[in-house]
């Protein structure tokens, strides 16, 4: 493996992706049938308001989301158990609007110490995502996405001088044309830098079904690739890429594959064979009660990068800690820790146990 820096040092890391506000609705099994995957957010909210019966229902929960915070909180968290410096100096390239949720997002980034470019603001509302859950089965959900500002992503210009200062670049569910441009430039100006790519649902987005060139352009420059079960299938069907063919790309060192109830597998390059990979497997904890699956993959990614690149840990130990925090994320609603947003507390990372605790802001 060639990605890790063995001496304790703070790495500069940039993450490029969306900010959003997530809406969570929990319905009974019978009421869940009122919602369908073809609904937009306003139709979902309207359906929620129209339900009138005697059964009490929880209010719609609104939580900040999007990979800038859902991944970034794990990268920027402080360690309260040692005097080690933060593993990463985190910057974000993202887009915010002019609505109250955008202002709340700015405050959360400031609390975490995540830097951002102030001139990437536009008039409009933060992207919204709605999740409707079958109360008897949290794995069943209807989701809708509405975006007021992120269409500007494809027009963003990321300065080469900014990229050359980064040791690690994370493209997490980044608009594909922007991801392809930035990945190409990052590899040109920082050939020794680490590129992390999570294509996310864009792989299955019909708007990009004819643009497999964009995804392949990023993947061939990627060092750490992150996909879930559905995205692994899309890589094979749409791009003709399976695990052996992926590891023929010379840059790829690690492939993270999260598999829902079947746990997770991390494939990593075998130093003895250029086109072969070894793997680390973690099975899910038996009996874990899942409250909300949102953000578990981001918790996995952020924790793995923190331990594997930032501290650094052996890949199997980093995998184990990533699994622990992903499972912890499954036990709460929303992908961002509310203590950060509502109680004025900074998230702090207990490196000894691989779990979050919290301390009062100074």
HSE toward the beta carbon, residue 83, CA cutoff 13 A: 0
Q: Which two three-digit tokens encode residue 207?
A: 């708007």
Alpha-carbon gap, residue 29 to 330, rounded angstroms? 20
Q: Which two three-digit tokens encode residue 12?
A: 């500069």
Show the DSSP H helices in the chain as ranges: 29-32, 41-50, 67-70, 72-76, 100-112, 160-164, 176-189, 212-219, 229-239, 243-246, 296-305, 315-330, 338-342
**Dihedral Cα 241, 242, 244, 250, nearest 10 deg:** 40
The residues spanned by each domain of the chain are 11-19+68-124+151-360
169 with 195: CB under 8 angstroms?
Answer: yes
- Which residues of the chain fall below pLDDT 50? 1-2, 6, 343-346, 352-362
Helix (H) or strand (E) holding 140: strand 137-146
pLDDT score for 263? 87
194 with 223: CB under 8 angstroms?
Answer: yes
DSSP 3-state helix, strand, coil percentages of the chain (rounded to 5)?
A: 35, 25, 40
Residue at token pair 């040692």: 82
Alpha-carbon gap, residue 268 to 334, rounded angstroms? 31
310 with 88: CB under 8 angstroms?
Answer: yes
342 Cβ neighbours under 8 A, 6+ residues apart: none
**Dihedral Cα 118, 298, 356, 128, nearest 10 deg:** 60
pTM confidence score: 0.89
Q: Which two three-digit tokens encode residue 159?
A: 């300065």
pLDDT score for 343? 46
Relative to beta strand 61-65, strand 20-27 is: antiparallel
Relative to beta strand 127-134, strand 20-27 is: parallel
- Three-state secondary structure call for residue 315: helix
CATH of domain 11-19+68-124+151-360: 3.40.1190.20
Alpha-carbon gap, residue 140 to 300, rounded angstroms? 21
pLDDT score for 292? 82
Alpha-carbon gap, residue 301 to 226, rounded angstroms? 8
pLDDT score for 121? 86
């Amino acid at each position: 493996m060639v990605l890790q820096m063995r001496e304790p040092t703070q790495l500069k890391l940039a993450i490029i992706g969306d900010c959003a506000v997530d809406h969570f609705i929990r319905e009974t099994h019978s009421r869940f049938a009122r919602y369908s995957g073809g609904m937009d957010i306003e139709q979902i909210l309207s359906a929620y308001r129209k339900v009138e019966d005697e059964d009490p229902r929880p209010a719609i929960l609104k939580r900040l989301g999007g990979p800038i915070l859902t991944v970034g909180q794990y990268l920027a968290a402080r360690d309260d158990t040692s005097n080690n410096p933060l593993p990463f100096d985190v910057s974000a390239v993202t887009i915010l609007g002019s609505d109250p949720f955008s202002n709340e997002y700015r405050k959360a980034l400031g609390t975490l110490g995540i830097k951002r470019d102030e001139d990437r603001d536009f008039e409009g509302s933060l992207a919204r995502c709605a999740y409707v859950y079958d109360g008897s089965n949290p794995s069943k959900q209807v989701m809708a996405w509405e975006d007021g500002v992120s269409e500007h992503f494809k027009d963003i210009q990321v300065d080469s001088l900014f990229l050359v200062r980064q040791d690690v670049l994370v493209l997490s569910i980044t608009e594909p044309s922007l991801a392809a441009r930035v990945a190409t430039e990052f590899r040109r100006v920082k050939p020794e830098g680490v590129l992390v790519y999570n294509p996310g649902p864009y792989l299955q987005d019909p708007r990009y079904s004819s643009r497999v060139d964009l995804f392949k352009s990023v993947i061939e420059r990627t060092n750490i690739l992150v996909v879930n079960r559905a995205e692994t299938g899309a890589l094979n069907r749409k791009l003709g890429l399976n695990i052996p063919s992926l590891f023929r790309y010379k840059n790829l060192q690690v492939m993270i594959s999260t598999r829902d109830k079947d746990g997770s597998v991390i494939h990593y390059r075998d130093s003895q064979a250029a086109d072969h990979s070894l793997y680390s497997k973690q099975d899910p904890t038996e009996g874990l009660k899942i409250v909300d699956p949102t953000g578990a993959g981001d918790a996995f990614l952020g924790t793995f990068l923190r331990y594997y690149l930032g501290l650094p840990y052996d890949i199997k130990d980093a995998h184990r800690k990533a699994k622990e925090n992903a499972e912890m994320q499954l036990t709460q609603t929303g992908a961002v820790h509310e203590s950060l947003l509502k109680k004025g507390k900074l998230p702090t990372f207990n490196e000894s146990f691989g779990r979050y605790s919290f301390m009062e802001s100074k």
